[in-house]
Amino acid sequence: MTPIELSILIPSTPDRKEDLQKLLECIDKQEYVRKVDMYDVDGLKCERYWDILCPIEVLVFEDAKIMTIGEKRELLYKHAKGTHSIQVDSDDLLAPNAIQLILEAIRSNPDVDVISFEEFIDIDGKIMKSNHSNSYPCWEGDGSKLLEDGYHFHRTIFFKDVIRTELAKSVPVVHCRFGEDNIYADALKPFIKSEVHINQELYKYIHRSSDHNIRYGIKD
């Protein structure tokens, strides 16, 4: 059996089936992961996509927004088997060459703590760009203007980045429905000792303001 180098962890909900299918097809075009194990974890519907010759696994944890996104993210890390992990929300996408570049970085730096990259952002049709790196002191930018280096946002390392799985598991995830990513980034930052940066947009974030409360399971 091929060792699992990368776990792709997807928190999802029943209303995102079409988006999830697009993401799974995006992954499948890059790495052949067709075998599916289905089971339950703490009330979550879980699917694990894998293949004996494939260096990645894909875990999908789905519930009807009873569990907070923070709880789901923590459980995904807990069950990840890869040496490194990345979380991808089910209504987002990865670039067509993302997995190849990430695996190349892992193989060249098997003990690296994090692999960061640029992010393509589409907020209500407005196209922007973010850069992720632990070298930034904190999260910066609100999208209203370009920062000095030409990005709209700076992000320190969080769920969307590739993190050594044991390190990711060691930092608690706050059990909240919104804002868990920034809190986790601040908690993780002091424990990162090494980083590889890929100067390409590997993650595609798609946000529609009208779906905000639905996305995060927040009641009006």
For residue range 92-133, list pLDDT tens digits in order.
999 999 999 999 999 999 999 999 999 999 999 999 999 999
Indicate the pLDDT class of residue 24, thresholds 50, 70 and 90.
Answer: very high
Q: What is the pLDDT of residue 40?
A: 82
Domain ranges of the chain: 6-216
Indicate the pLDDT class of residue 65, thresholds 50, 70 and 90.
Answer: confident
Q: Can you spell out the DSSP letters for 73-97?
A: HHHHHHH--SSEEEE--TT-EE-TT
Strand pairing class (84-87; 162-164): antiparallel
Q: Percent helix, strand and coil across the chain, each rounded to 5?
A: 30, 30, 40
What's 142's DSSP letter? Answer: -
Which CATH code for domain 6-216?
3.90.550.10
Indicate the pLDDT class of residue 64, thresholds 50, 70 and 90.
Answer: confident
